[in-house]
Structure 1
Amino acid sequence: MPAIRGPQSKSKARRHAAVRGLDLVHADLHSKKHLEQHLSSKAFEELPGGGLWYCVECATHYESEPNFVKHQKGKPHKRRVRQLKEEPYTQKEAEAATGLTTDNGRKKADEEMAIDVDVVEEDEVK
């Protein structure tokens, strides 16, 4: 029987499956509350293996312990761990990189006013 081709193909569905982003996984690793909230969003009966074997770094569930151990020794898992060692970018850094800043000119005026207030206070003390 020939392989199924087209939109019904499982290989295409797996290849384009939604992957939890690095920033979300990074938050999972640093906050148990964040991870528990993600895991509690799905019923354990619906998860492979009852949700017992979960790879936090790759955000995937496995059906059995041998599959989970094999995954941890594999190249995709190690690649993902290496990517997670870097700190994710923040929105502020991304805007600064594109040249978008929130400078509306108030900071300089506020600094000048603070200097003027200090000068006035020094004059009053004398």
Structure 2
Amino acid sequence: MGRLRRSRAHHARRDVHRASRTRVRTRDLDQIQHIDLDPKNRARLEAQPLDYELPGLGQHYCVECAKHYETDAALVSHWKSKVHKRRVKALKEPAYTIEEAERAAGLGRETKKATLSTDAQPIPPSSILSDAEMAT
């Protein structure tokens, strides 16, 4: 028996998957919190000038999700969706700072100093029982 010929079509599917991974990428939560949710920037983003390159000429924009929509009806239905509501809930939580991220990675300084208590007395070795003495 000879070796079966493999289908050589799987790489095309892989390339489409790789392209879609980066195509749908939106802005991160901390970028939206610090830049877009500022009242001045939010008003500017909601009232954008006509742009023929963007969907819906750039007139229907969700600030929280950083996405453009074709029609006003699509934007209103997006506001009612579970995806949008999750994003708004996530944006209500404060963003992590660089210091918090460094502390989580073990790189930052601790704010409290570890102090030894002067009241604690060490246990003398004679009072520690061995396993054999405890069994009897």
Give the TM-score, by structure 1 length: 0.61
Q: For structure 2, list consecutive stretches of 5 or more residues without a partner in the other structure.
A: 1-11, 111-136
Q: For structure 1, list consecutive stretches of 5 or more residues without a partner in the other structure.
A: 104-126
- The structure carrying a bigger helix percent of its residues is 1
Of 72, 81, 84, 1:77 maps to: 84
**How many pairs are equivalent?**
94
Identity %: 44
* Kept after mapping to 2: 8 A contact 1:53/1:65: yes
Matches within 5 A, 1:102-117: none
Structure number with higher relative contact order (C-alpha < 8 Å, ≥ 6 residues apart): 1
**CA positional deviation for 1:98:** 2.1
- Taking the aligned partners of 1:71 and 1:18, their CA distance within structure 2 comes to 17
| Distance change in 2, residues 1:88/1:17 (3 Å) | same
After superposition, the C-alpha distances for 1:43-85 in whole angstroms (9 at most, x for unaligned) are: 8210101110100000000000110011000010001001001
C-alpha RMSD of the superposition: 3.0
| Distance change in 2, residues 1:89/1:35 (3 Å) | farther
- Taking the aligned partners of 2:31 and 2:43, their CA distance within structure 1 comes to 9
Matches within 5 A, 1:1-12: 6=13, 7-8=15-16
Q: Does 1:32 align with 2:40?
A: yes
